Amino acid sequence: MGMLSRKLGVDLGTVNVMIYAGGQIVLQEPSMVALTIEEERVVAVGQEARDMYGRHPEHIEVLRPLRDGVIADYEVTEAMLRYFFRKISGRMRVRGPEVMLSVPYGVTSVEKRAVHEAAVRAGAREAYLLPEPLLAALGAGLPISTPAGNMIFNLGGGASEAAVLAMNGIVVADSVRMGGMRLDDAIINYIRRKYSLVIGEPTAESIKIQIGAATALPEELSMEIQGRDQVGGLPRTITITTSEVVEAIEEPLQAVVGAAQSVLEKTPPELASDIIDRGVVLTGGGAMLRGIDEYITRNVGVPAYRTEDPMVTAAVGAGRALEDISFLRRTMPTM
Ligand SMILES: Nc1ncnc2c1ncn2[C@@H]1O[C@H](COP(=O)(O)OP(=O)(O)OP(=O)(O)O)[C@@H](O)[C@H]1O
Ligand SMILES: [Mg+2]
């Protein structure tokens, strides 16, 4: 394990951190940290912190150190990365890992520098950064080194990015700083408005995952949820259905998909015909929403396909990029 963990592909996301090493995903944890409020001492990281969310004592706060795909809390990001690096290198004290990290397309140089520094201070011997859509394309196995155009659409938790790639680079791309978390918010608001019921973020996310869809399903799903009555303050149970979720998330979903539409509008005609033939590949956790492929096919006008395991695709790409030095040489200068 010590040896294998030397080259790490890291998808540092708003919602999840995924790490790929030695040909497989070795870590998959929520991007969350629990801290004591006064001394800012870390008490839990990753899944453990997530499990505390909404049920922690008052001297503790549970937070996400990234927001909309970029670092919002620098020190906490560093602490989180250090914990994850140690976790996968086990007890063996090897030299710090070489890491490739994903950054959202279109981030500022200040935001990039923050990621680089956080990784190095967390123990990385060397840290490289590449844009998430490029890494997602690589992880999806798209032939991006050829002159043909390939399109990727990464639907993350905090940001969504679409890009057309050719000859190892991004030809056009667009990103919106919204993703799955925005859909969760929309579900929270919908249920509050319609049922005067207050639910938390974890409940909203599980509604989306368990019964949610981008478009109406042939067979409606439903689930019982508990919340707190907005007026009386007491707990109450309601049943919610797929078509309600479809309605709740319609607006933010449209905004997210707008990123793909705007990329296609800007794509040079030579490449656009390739995209029409090959379609767009969907990655990121949002690609797992039921019917999202169909929805994008219909609204963007090119066939959409999700990768096999969309949530880990960018981390796989980051690992591959690091293993392929010649790829690095070709792509790094354009970053
Ligand atoms: N089955 C599912 N259906 C719909 N959404 C899902 C499903 N599974 C996970 N998600 C959503 O995917 C999002 C997380 O995806 P991902 O791990 O790709 O994001 P991230 O990389 O952390 O974020 P970003 O790239 O924006 O920084 C969450 O909003 C989560 O709710
Ligand atoms: Mg991501």
pLDDT band at 54 (very low <50, low <70, confident <90, very high): confident
Q: Give me ligand 1 centre to Cα 318, in Å.
A: 18
Q: What does the pLDDT read at residue 35? A: 97
The pLDDT value recorded for residue 91 is 62
- Residue ID of nearest Cα to ligand 1 atom 11: 285
Dist. CA 159 → ligand 1 center (Å): 10
CA of 144 to the centre of ligand 1 (A): 24
Least confident interval from 4-8, 12-16, 49-53, 100-104: 4-8
Closest atom of ligand 1 relative to the 205 alpha carbon = 31
3-class DSSP state of 169: strand
Q: Over the stretch 165-202, which tens digit does the pLDDT of each residue have?
A: 999 999 999 999 999 999 999 999 999 999 999 999 99
Superfamily in which the 141-306 domain is placed by CATH: ATPase, nucleotide binding domain (3.30.420.40)
Helices (H), 53-160: 74-89, 109-121, 132-139
Cβ contacts of residue 284 below 8 Å, gap of 6+?
Answer: 136, 154, 155, 156, 157, 160, 179, 310, 311, 313, 314
Atom of ligand 1 nearest to the CA of 132: 25
Pick the atom of ligand 1 nearest to 17's CA. Answer: 22
Q: Where are the domains of the chain?
A: 4-134+314-334, 141-306
Over residues 243-264, the pLDDT tens digits come to 999 999 999 999 999 999 999 9
Q: Nearest ligand, CA of residue 15?
A: 1
Q: How far is the CA of 132 from the centre of ligand 2 (A)?
A: 7
Residue 207 has pLDDT above 90, yes or no: yes
Yes or no: say if 331 and 135 are a contact pair by the CB < 8 Å rule. Answer: no
For the chain, the average pLDDT equals 94
User: Residue 286: CB within 6 Å of ligand 1?
Assistant: yes
Cβ(102) to ligand 1 under 6 A? no
Hey, whose CA ends up nearest to atom 8 of ligand 1? Answer: 285
Q: Is the CB of 289 under 6 A from ligand 1?
A: yes
As a whole number of angstroms, the distance between CA 54 and CA 202 comes to: 9
Residue 158 CA, closest ligand 1 atom number: 26
* Residue 93, pLDDT score: 62
| Euclidean distance between CA atoms 169 and 329, whole angstroms | 12
The pLDDT of residue 332 is 62
Domains 4-134+314-334 and 141-306 fall in the same CATH topology: yes
Decide: 72 in ligand 1 pocket, CB within 6 A: no
Percent of the chain at pLDDT > 90 equals 90
pLDDT number for residue 55: 86
**Architecture of domain 4-134+314-334 in CATH?**
2-Layer Sandwich (3.30)
Instruction: Report the alpha-carbon distance of residue 309 to residue 24 in Å, rounded.
Output: 12
Ligand 1: does its nearest atom lie under 6 Å from the Cβ of 179? yes
Instruction: Give residue 257 CA to ligand 2 midpoint distance, Å.
Output: 16
Question: What pLDDT does 334 receive?
Answer: 45
Whether 72 shows a pLDDT value over 70: the answer reads yes
The confidence score (pLDDT) of residue 36 equals 96
pLDDT for residue 235: 97
Whether 2 shows a pLDDT value over 50: the answer reads no
Tens digit of each residue's pLDDT (9 = 90 or more) over 76-134? 999 999 999 999 987 666 788 999 999 999 899 999 999 999 999 999 999 999 999 99
Pocket lining: 267 vs ligand 1, CB cutoff 6 Å: no
pLDDT at 5 over 90: no
Q: How far is the CA of 93 from the centre of ligand 1 (A)?
A: 33
Q: Is the pLDDT of residue 294 over 90?
A: yes
Checking if the pLDDT of 333 tops 90, the result is no
CA of 311 to the centre of ligand 1 (A): 7
For residues 68-79, average pLDDT: 94
CA separation for the pair 86, 81 (Å, rounded) = 8
pLDDT of residue 89: 84
Residue in the structure block whose two tokens are 């949002």: 286
